[in-house]
Structures are given as structure tokens and as C-alpha cells.
Amino acid sequence: MINTVSKNFEVLIAEANRKLKTADHLIYVTYPLLKEEKLFIKIIELISDALQNCIKAALFHDYYWKRIELANFDYTLFKERRKIYNLNEDEIKFFEDIFMILEKHKKAPVEFIRKKEFVILEENLATLQLSSEKVRGYLFKAKSIVEKVQKRLRY
């Protein structure tokens, strides 16, 4: 069991890095070629998957070193332990923002492209707009977070 958990957090952090690399390729290579704003949602999904793998890797690591119990694997625990991974409040809010964007995407009755932005129209007619600059910012921040957690896992 212990060796499985040990390999698990290594695999999860590697998978997070792979997803971020794919997202990076989509925003910096594929999007400029295709000019297809629908790619923004796919990139946000990849960022979300990478962040979720990062959370799991951190918690598996803590479990491996007997800092937490196995039953406690959830985002709330990760949020409480954020200082161990040198994450500030803004970075934790970033996790929630990414998860919120995907939730709005899933619930949205209408989505469309306007002025090189992917627009999600919510039921209450509020809009959420994703531009290439905004998505690049999300990707940069996600890379920074994964790197911080990865440094902590290596110690």
C-alpha cells in the first residue's frame, strides 16, 4: 500500500505537468493557428484537471508521511494546509475561480463567441468572458502553483 501511495503522488504531479504542457501548446501554438475561441474552455478544463491532480498529489504525499488520515482527502483539507505548500489566499481563490468557470460552463444555457472572446451567458443573464490573455494568465498562475507544490513534494 505505501509503495502504491508513494508512486501515486509522483504520477499525479507528473500528470498535472503533462496537462499544463498540453494547455500551453493549445494556447500558444494551436489557438494562433486556428483562431478558435472554443479552445479556451478545453484549456480551462486542462488547467482544472492539473490543479485537481496537484491537490491529490499533495494530500497523498501528506498521507504517505502520516500527516493526515486517508479518509480526509478533500479540497477543504488542502485549503487548510495551504501554508505548508507556500500557497497564499489569492492562489487558493484561483482554484475556486477555475472550478467556478467550469461549473458555469456546464450550467450555461448559451455560449457564444464575440470579439475574440468566448462568452458564457448564465441563466440570470450575467456573462463570463474568456479571452486569450485571460486564459494565458490562468495558465501562468496554474504553472506557478503546481511548481510550488512540486518543490514541497521533493524536499
Q: What pLDDT, in 10s, does the model give residues 66-91?
A: 888 866 667 888 898 899 889 999 99
Q: What pLDDT, in 10s, does the model give residues 22-38?
A: 999 999 999 999 999 99
Which residue, 91, 86, 56, is CA-closest to 74?
Answer: 56
Strand partners, 121: 110, 127
What is the tally of structural domains in the chain?
Answer: 1
| % of the chain surpassing 90 pLDDT | 74
Q: How confident is the model at residue 6 (pLDDT cuts 50, 70, 90)?
A: low
Helix (H, G, I), strand (E, B) or coil at 67: coil
Beta strands in the chain (DSSP E): 110-114, 117-121, 127-130
- What's the grid cell of residue 127? 456573462
At residue 2, does pLDDT exceed 50?
no
Is position 122 within any domain?
no
pLDDT, greater one: 63 or 15: 15
Is position 90 within any domain?
yes
Range(s) of the domain holding residue 45:
2-99+133-154
pLDDT, greater one: 78 or 147: 147
Is position 92 within any domain?
yes
Is position 37 within any domain?
yes
Per-residue pLDDT at 155: 57
Is position 47 within any domain?
yes
Is position 105 within any domain?
no
| % of the chain surpassing 70 pLDDT | 92
In CATH, what number is assigned to the domain containing residue 59?
Answer: 1.20.120.330
- What average pLDDT does the segment 98-122 reach? 96
Task: Answer whether 86's CB lies under 8 Å from 42's CB.
Answer: no
Is position 125 within any domain?
no
Is position 85 within any domain?
yes
